């Protein structure tokens, strides 16, 4: 796999080694291999790893192919593929399905990761995750380098995600930004709360449309974009402004819980509808999207 990187002004003066281990997101093992095999060039010429690179230089690295054990047969129906190339794939995650093994879904359980592995016929490398009850786009890398590169983009805030959700009530104003720090409720709790000593968390929202609910209540279909990436961020923020997601059994108000129960909703109504990122190999912007998927009880709203 050939990867190309143009040195940016911010990277000017870094050693080639630091560039490979940092912005280019190669592992220590990958860096050693490409140096030993002479598989890295700068401006089409050999280059020592302790030499500084300069703005505009073109670094090319030929990564070795990853030989992975394959299964006797691939299950091509295991997942709904939204995008695929030699480096990565994006798939649709239904609800309720865990993304990868966890204490509540031990290894060997049915997870999105295991389904992707059956589809590929070999191991897969998850880039990020969604809560089990959240539907939508999830990225997987086919090789560790791509996983590391995409996760670094996520850490740097260079991956843009967009969600849609059904919420109880209508936020006022109908579009805006929520800047409210999020912390664990207690040191060992999985539940999050808005609290001054928490990590900075920013979400943007806008109302797509509203719909009446039983008992004279009102719901709103929302576009949501997390600027930061805190656990349960969108769910916590919407509850914070008085519009918890319908069906949410962790973050709710008595009114939203009552309406959700009346509708027969057993999990929160949140769907990851698009993700935009820079392809680690081609350097091109890639956008993957899908239609939102909610519980069928909301199909008439």
Closest CA to 205 of 190, 231, 225, 220: 225
Q: How far apart are CA 108 and CA 84, in angstroms?
A: 25
Q: φ and ψ at 123, to 5 degrees? A: -70, 155
Q: Torsions phi, psi of 43, nearest 5?
A: 50, 45
- Catalytic one of 131, 188, 197, 248: 131
d(CA 19, CA 12) in angstroms, rounded, equals 10
* Size (the chain), residues: 301
Q: Are 148 and 281 in contact (CB under 8 A)?
A: no
- Give the C-alpha separation, 151 to 21, whole Å: 14
End-to-end CA distance of the chain: 48
Handedness of CA 188, 194, 200, 202 (dihedral sign): positive
Residue 131 a catalytic site member: yes
> Per the structure block, which two tokens stand in for 269?
């109504």
Burial code (b: 16+ CB inside 10 Å, e: under 16) for 52-81 equals ebeeebebebebeeeeeeeeeeeeeebbee
CB atoms within 10 A of CB 115: 20
Whole-number Cα distances in Å, 262 to 15, 86, 194: 62, 47, 28
Residues designated catalytic: 131
């Amino acid at each position: 796999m050939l990867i190309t990187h143009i040195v940016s002004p911010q990277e000017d003066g870094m050693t080639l080694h630091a560039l490979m281990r940092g912005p280019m997101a190669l592992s220590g093992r990958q860096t050693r291999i490409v140096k030993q095999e002479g598989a890295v060039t700068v401006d089409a010429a050999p280059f020592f790893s302790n030499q500084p690179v300069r703005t505009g230089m073109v670094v090319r690295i030929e990564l070795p192919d990853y030989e992975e054990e394959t299964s006797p047969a691939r299950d091509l129906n295991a997942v709904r593929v939204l995008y695929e190339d030699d480096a990565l794939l994006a798939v649709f995650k239904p609800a309720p399905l865990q993304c990868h093994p966890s204490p509540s879904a031990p290894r060997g359980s049915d997870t999105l990761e295991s389904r992707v592995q059956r589809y590929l016929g070999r191991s897969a490398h998850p880039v990020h995750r969604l809560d089990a009850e959240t539907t939508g786009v999830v990225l997987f890398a086919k090789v560790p380098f791509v996983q590391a590169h995409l996760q670094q983009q996520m850490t740097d805030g260079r991956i843009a995600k967009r969600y849609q959700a059904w919420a109880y009530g209508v936020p006022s104003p109908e579009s805006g930004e929520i800047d409210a720090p999020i912390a664990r409720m207690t040191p060992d709790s999985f539940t999050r709360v808005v609290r001054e000593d928490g990590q900075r968390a920013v979400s943007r929202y806008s109302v797509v449309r509203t719909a009446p609910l039983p008992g004279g209540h009102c719901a709103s279909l929302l576009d949501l974009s997390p600027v930061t990436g805190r656990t349960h961020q969108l769910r916590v923020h919407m509850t914070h402004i008085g519009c918890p997601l319908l069906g949410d059994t962790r973050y709710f108000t008595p009114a939203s819980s009552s309406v959700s129960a009346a509708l027969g909703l057993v999990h929160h109504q949140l769907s990851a509808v698009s993700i935009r990122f820079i392809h680690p190999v081609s350097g091109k912007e890639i956008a993957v999207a899908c239609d939102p998927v909610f519980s069928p009880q909301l199909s008439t709203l």
